[in-house]
Each structure stands twice: as structure tokens, then as C-alpha cells.
Structure 1
Amino acid sequence: MNDDSRWLAAAAALAARARPLSRPNPGVGALLVKDGRVLARGWTQEGGRPHAEAVALGLAGDAAHGATLYVTLEPCAHQSPRGPSCADLICAARPARVVIGCMDPDPRTSGAGLARIRAAGIAAEYLHSPACEESLAGYLLQRTQGRPHVTLKLALSLDGCIAMASGESQWITGAEARAHTHAQRARSDAILVGGGTLRADTPRLDVRLPGLEARSPTRWVLTRGTVPEGWNALPSPEAIRDMDAVQYLFVEGGAGAAAAFLKARLVDRLLIYRAPILVGGRPGLGDYGLCALSQAHGRWSLVERRALGSDTLEVYSAR
């Protein structure tokens, strides 16, 4: 990686602080760098304003002149009642150079942000950054496909079970894996289970990590029936296109809901927590429509593996 790619990757890591509080706006990260030193940094604030660039430029003040601004997403070019466009703020701050890691598919900005900055005599370029695209996955899917990014979580025994034959499931995994799951909940706009899981377990689906309790996502259940107070009904996986302002959906199970989303080809990321136990109970995944074993191959790429206490986490992305 060259220096530009490294700084963009650092800005993408910074953008994680915006998720999911920046909704309905994307979570963007920005860094102002001069002579290899970070002058200021910013990320999209709660409720979507101020934007990452505005935060970083405001902190840097006059020091932004002559620096390089790294931004994960193309600076916005449209005016808003909530504040000026980031492209205009950049033009006024006069950095020497702007590097962005992802073009904005929003038609109000697409290409116009870079064009406005260049017209002001500031060098501006797009450098494709997988790290930036990954950090904006939910926003990009909403803009291009009209649906949220979907993560499917499965907590399994070594023999692929999510519960004993009796239905007992608390707990398959240990405390470290459960804490990691709660951190993933805190990064999601919405969380979903199947109707069977809701009836059998009455799950809370909240975030129980100290300091992050307020980040509990909205609760959804996959059902065409009525739902309890505080829950939302999703009639089918395809109906995620009607989930307003949801960029990141976390599907926690059970086997039927997991199979339904996989069958609809609407899972973008798999989190598989595997405990070193044998249960001989209820399988973690139902039939999701494969007609031949060959259809199962080539669908997933392993992107991360780590130990969480005595358990193992594997993360896969859809190909």
C-alpha cells in the first residue's frame, strides 16, 4: 500500500465511530495530514451533522491550508438547511490536495463534489479504496440497490447445532463471544429474529455492554402476523427494501429466518461463532433451496478468523 491508501484505510477505521449514530447519513471519516502528521480528524456526528470534513476542517482552522485531506466518501456538493456543502467548506479552507476513497452514488453529489473542488484550483482525486467501500457498505447498498447491508449471525456447536433437542440454547457460546455479538448489535440500525425464536425465547435483542446500552437497534421479527409492542414486523426477506433509514440489518436467527435470507440471496456477511461442544440437537440452518452440492461452493470468502475465549469466530463475505 502507498501512503495515500494507508491514510484512506485509517480514515475508514475512524469512520466506524459514526456507525450507526450518523443515520440517515453515511458514516464518513476524514483526516487532515501534513508532512506525515495528522493535524485533525473527524467523523460524521450523531444525526448526520456536522459531516466528517466539517469536523476535521473546523478543528484544524488555518492549519488546513496546504495540507492533504483524506475522506472516505466524496464530499457532498448540495446545499442543505442543516449546513453548507462540504465541497464549499473545502474550497474555503484551501488544502493543497483532497483524496477520496469512494465516489458518492447520490445524484446530488456524484462527481460534482470533486469537480467543484478542482474548479477552485485544489488537486482532488479518487483512489479506489476497498477499506472505504467496506466502511460504507450499508450506505452504498441503500443508494445502489435500495436495501440495507445484511449480516447473519450464527452461534453453533461443533456439530452445527443452535440448541439442545429440548430447545435449550443458553448458552452455546461463552461470555467473550456474547460480548462480541453485543458490540455487533451496537453497530446495527436494526436487528431481526424469526417468529419461532420470538415465541420460544422472548429475546431482548438489546445491547448490554457498559456505556453502549443506548445503541440498542430497533427490533424486527420475520412474520406476517401481529407482533408485540416495541417490535416491527417484516413479512419477507425481500421487504427489507421497505425498512426506512436502515443501512445495517443484523439477523440473529433462528434456523428458519437464516434459511429464508440465504434463500433470497440477501446475506452480505456471515458471523459464525463456534463453540467447542457437541450438542446433537437442533441444526442451526434449515433448507434454503440448494438443488445440488455444487451450488454451495464459491459463495463465501473467509475474511477473518479469531479466538474469543474458548470459542472461534469466522467472518465470511458474500462473493
Structure 2
Amino acid sequence: MTRPDPLPAHHYLEIPMPRPYVLLSVATSIDGHIDDTSPNRLLLSNAEDFDRVDQVRAESDAILIGAGTMRADNPRLLVNSEERRAARVAAGKPAYPLKVTVTASGDLDPELKFWHHGESIVAYTTDAGEEKLYNRLVDLAEVVSLGESVDFGRLLDDLGERGIERLMVEGGGSIHTAFLSQGLVDEIHLAIAPLVVGEADAPSFLNPATYPGGSTRRMKLAEARTIGDVVLLRYLPKQENDQ
């Protein structure tokens, strides 16, 4: 009895790589704002909490911010601690996590600090924004189109294919809203600062949207602790409260 010929390569099932664990990190005022309307960035965290965020960055494989945050804050988005960078290298990782941004329009300034610090960078965009962004970011970042619109599920699939196991999402509000409303967030780190912005036009942590389970679903609180004058709440959105 002869053995059958092996199936052609296209007959084999392709097993997709798992999507990364998504950690959404945000600091807000008591009234839920992530900034005020002044030209200067509002510092909501204290020094101890900023150091905590640096540790979370060091534990992540990639860090993501949206185009709006890049334009408003012009961050470098780095692991600042030399010791933490050295620990990453000792563990066989690059000194800095992969930096990721998302822009539907492709309208981002190549002079922003984001492009000129750290190591590897990926910029996700749309078919319409791809050529514009590619021309602007020659040798600065890899440009990837997600299709006709920004598809966050497809973004996570692509990061999974790159071996990213843990993604830290640092905002802003539109990005947080997209990930959370689409059920893509595994963990939330919500740091609440002891101040009130009180401005209706100030950017908020989340925008109006339809969220999984609606207003009656209570997500699981995994931790609550004080960090100086800031309160850190750690939620697990995919798990419901046991009570």
C-alpha cells in the first residue's frame, strides 16, 4: 500500500499567533479628564506613580499611543530607567519596547520626538494614509496599512505575528475608547489624581460608545492601592465582578 502524496502547502491550516495581552494605562482627574485645555500638558501623576508607569513600560513588549497624543504632548515614549533597560537586555530583549502609533490620516510630523528616540517603531494607518505616511517617515518607522479604516483587531493580529505578547496602551481618549468598546482590553491601570479639571472641553479618558455588557456590567477589580496622593485601580474588563 503506497502512502498518499502530501497535501500542497496551501491545504495546511495556518495557526495564527495569539494576540498580545492588552494593558490600558491612564491617569485621570477626579472628574475623569486626562488633560486640561491649557497649552501645557497637565501632570496628573506624582513622581512615584510616574516611576510605576516606567516599570510597566519595561515589562511590556510594545507601547502604543495615538496620533492625537503625539501631536498634543510630543512624547519620546521610552523606558527612562537605565537599570530597567539593562534588565531587559539581560533577559534577551531589546533595551526599549517596540513603539507603536495609529493614524487614520497619515498626517504626522516627522520631526516629532517619538520618531527619534528608542529603537523599533511601527506606524499603523489606512490605505488612504499609507503613501503620505511612508513618504514622511522614510527610515524612521515601518508603515503598515490596516485597510480602508483602522482595524484594531487586525492591528493586534499583526503585533502577535511580530511576537508581541504584552501591549501597553497609553492613550489618548479615542484610542482608549476604541480598544475598550471593542472588547480588546485585558487589564486597565486607572490612576486617579486628587484634582478636578472642571472644563467641559477638556479631553476625557473615554468617549461615548457602546461598551461590552453596557452600563450594568461590573468588571472585576483586581487591586486598589494608594501611591502617594494618587489612587491606582486595576481592573480586568473581560472578567465580571464576583459579587
TM value normalised by structure 2 = 0.66
Counterpart in the other structure of 1:201: 73
Aligned with residue 269 of structure 1, among 153, 165, 187 = 187
Whether 1:237 and 2:152 are equivalent positions in the alignment is: yes
Superposition deviation, residue 173 in structure 1: 1.2
Counterpart in the other structure of 1:304: 223
Contact kept in structure 1, 2:34 and 2:205, CA below 8 Å: yes
Counterpart in the other structure of 1:188: 60
Larger Rg: 1
The 1:144–1:304 alpha-carbon spacing in structure 2 relative to 1, beyond 3 Å, is farther
Superposition deviation, residue 157 in structure 1: 0.6
Q: Deviations over 1:248-267 (max 9, x none)?
A: 00000000110111122100
SS at match of 2:210: coil
Aligned with residue 216 of structure 1, among 74, 78, 96 = 96
Aligned with residue 255 of structure 1, among 173, 177, 180 = 173
Name which of structure 1's ranges 205-214 and 265-274 shifts more when overlaid on structure 2. Answer: 205-214
SS at match of 1:221: strand
Contact kept in structure 1, 2:221 and 2:235, CA below 8 Å: yes
The 1:144–1:176 alpha-carbon spacing in structure 2 relative to 1, beyond 3 Å, is farther
Counterpart in the other structure of 2:130: none
Q: Deviations over 1:284-305 (max 9, x none)?
A: 21123249xx713325100101
Contact kept in structure 2, 1:234 and 1:240, CA below 8 Å: no
Supply the AA of the counterpart residue of 1:296: S
More helix by share: 1
Give the 5 Å matches for 1:116-131: none
Q: Deviations over 1:76-118 (max 9, x none)?
A: xxxxxxxxxxxxxxxxxxxxxxxxxxxxxxxxxxxxxxxxxxx
The 1:144–1:272 alpha-carbon spacing in structure 2 relative to 1, beyond 3 Å, is farther
Using the alignment, how far apart are the partners of 1:316 and 1:309 within structure 2?
20
- Number of paired residues? 175
SS at match of 1:203: coil
Using the alignment, how far apart are the partners of 1:311 and 1:265 within structure 2?
27
- Identical aligned residues as a percent: 34
The 1:208–1:279 alpha-carbon spacing in structure 2 relative to 1, beyond 3 Å, is same
Supply the AA of the counterpart residue of 1:285: L
SS at match of 2:34: strand
The 1:285–1:168 alpha-carbon spacing in structure 2 relative to 1, beyond 3 Å, is farther
The 1:315–1:252 alpha-carbon spacing in structure 2 relative to 1, beyond 3 Å, is same
CA RMSD of aligned residues (A): 2.2
Whether 1:286 and 2:204 are equivalent positions in the alignment is: no
Contact kept in structure 2, 1:226 and 1:233, CA below 8 Å: no
Superposition deviation, residue 313 in structure 1: 0.4
Where does the alignment leave 5 or more consecutive residues of structure 2 unmatched? 1-14, 87-94, 126-150
Where does the alignment leave 5 or more consecutive residues of structure 1 unmatched? 1-142
Using the alignment, how far apart are the partners of 1:254 and 1:194 within structure 2?
6
Counterpart in the other structure of 2:47: 175
Q: Deviations over 1:38-79 (max 9, x none)?
A: xxxxxxxxxxxxxxxxxxxxxxxxxxxxxxxxxxxxxxxxxx
Counterpart in the other structure of 1:159: 31
